[in-house]
Amino acid sequence: MTRGADTELVVVRVDRDRCIGSGMCALSAPDSLALGADGLAAPLADFADGGAELTDGLTEAVDCCPVEALTLHSARGGYRIDPAD
Ligand code: SF4
């Protein structure tokens, strides 16, 4: 995959104290999030570590989480991208 110099790579953070394991995010963004053995959401490797390109499904996952447990952050700067502050 070729990435442009200005591509914003994102990491996903799951507030595990909030997550209720509804699975909505894993349905919206199965390439980014999955439910772990403990029943709570966890980002897949690329979205947990180095960061990966933002997808529409990931934005939808953040929007549809019923307990606002998901946030997207810049992989380089660490600042929050979504939801906006
Ligand atoms: S949509 Fe929210 S509450 Fe449901 S599994 Fe994902 S992070 Fe957890």
Amino acid sitting at position 14:
V
Tens digits of residue pLDDT in 24-44 = 999 999 999 999 999 999 999
Average pLDDT over residues 14-32: 97
Please name every residue paired with 73 in a beta bridge, in sequence order, or none if there are none: 11, 80
* The pLDDT of residue 2 is above 60: no
Tens digits of residue pLDDT in 46-74 = 999 889 999 999 999 999 999 999 999 99
pLDDT for 6: 64
Query: Of 17, 27, 70, 82, which is best to mutate to test ligand 1, by the most ligand atoms within 8 angstroms of its C-beta?
Result: 70
Query: Of 12, 25, 44, which is best to mutate to test ligand 1, by the most ligand atoms within 8 angstroms of its C-beta?
Result: 25
Distance CA 75, CA 1 (A): 17
Topology given in CATH for the domain delimited by 9-82? Alpha-Beta Plaits (3.30.70)
**Any ligand 1 atom below 6 A from CB of 25:** yes
Cβ contacts of 75-78, under 8 Å, gap ≥ 24 = 75/9, 75/10, 75/11, 75/50, 75/51, 76/9, 76/51
Domain ranges (residues) in the chain: 9-82
More confident residue, 85 or 48: 48
pLDDT for 49: 86
